[in-house]
Amino acid sequence: MPSASHSNAALIIIGHGSTTNPDSSAPTHLHADAIRRRGIFREVACCFWKEEPNMREVYEMVDSDVIYIVPNFISEGYFCQQVLPRELRLDGPVTHRDGKTIYYCDPVGIHPNMTRLILQRADEVAPGVPRDRTSLIIVGHGTSLNENSTKAIQDQVSLIRDGHHGFAEVIDTYMEEAPFVAEWAKLTTSPDVVIVPFFIADGLHSFQDIPVLLGMREEIGAALSESGVFHHNPHQLQGRQLYYSGAIGTAPLMADVVLDQVNDFDQKHGISSPVAVRTSTLNDTLAAWLASGRDSIGEIAITTNSDGSFSLCHTADLDQEGLQVHHAANDALFIARNDANGAFRPLHSAPTMNRGWRLDLATLEDLRLALDFFYPAALGMALALEQEKLVSVPLREMLSRQTGMYRFANNITDQQAHAMIGKCCANTKCTRRILWPLAASQPMANEAASKAQPNHPQVRP
Domain definitions of the chain by residue range = 114-250, 279-389, 395-449
Residue 138's nearest CA partner among 106, 179, 189 is 179
Residue 147: its pLDDT value, please?
65
Residue 152: its pLDDT value, please?
86
Report CA-CA distances (Å) from 79 to 71, 173, 328, 356, 413.
Answer: 9, 21, 33, 40, 28
CATH class of 279-389: alpha beta
Whether 114-250 and 279-389 share one fold: the answer is: no
Residue 456: its pLDDT value, please?
53
Domain 114-250 has CATH 3.40.50.1400: yes
- SS3 string, 39-90, reads CCCCEEEEEECCCCCECCCHHHHCCCCEEEEEECCCCCCHHHHHHHHHHHCC
The end-to-end CA distance of the chain, in Å, is: 38
Residue 274: its pLDDT value, please?
61
Residue 310: its pLDDT value, please?
98
Q: Maximum Cα–Cα distance for the chain, whole Å? A: 71
Q: What is the pLDDT along the chain (461 residues), one digit of tens a residue?
A: 445 469 899 999 999 998 888 888 999 999 999 999 999 999 999 999 989 999 989 999 999 999 999 999 988 878 899 889 999 999 999 999 988 999 999 999 999 899 999 999 999 999 999 999 999 999 998 866 556 668 889 999 999 999 999 999 999 999 988 999 999 999 999 999 999 999 998 877 777 789 889 988 766 555 444 445 555 899 999 999 999 998 999 999 999 999 999 999 999 999 986 666 667 899 999 999 999 999 999 999 999 999 999 999 999 999 899 999 999 999 999 999 999 999 999 889 999 999 999 999 999 999 999 999 999 999 999 999 998 888 888 999 989 888 777 788 889 999 999 888 888 887 667 888 888 889 988 888 888 888 886 655 543 33
Give the separation between CA 165 and CA 389, rounded to whole angstroms.
55
Give the separation between CA 73 and CA 76, rounded to whole angstroms.
8
The number of beta carbons lying within 10 Å of the beta carbon of residue 346 is: 17
pTM: predicted TM-score of the whole model, two decimal places? 0.89
Residue 138: its pLDDT value, please?
96
- DSSP tag of 316: G
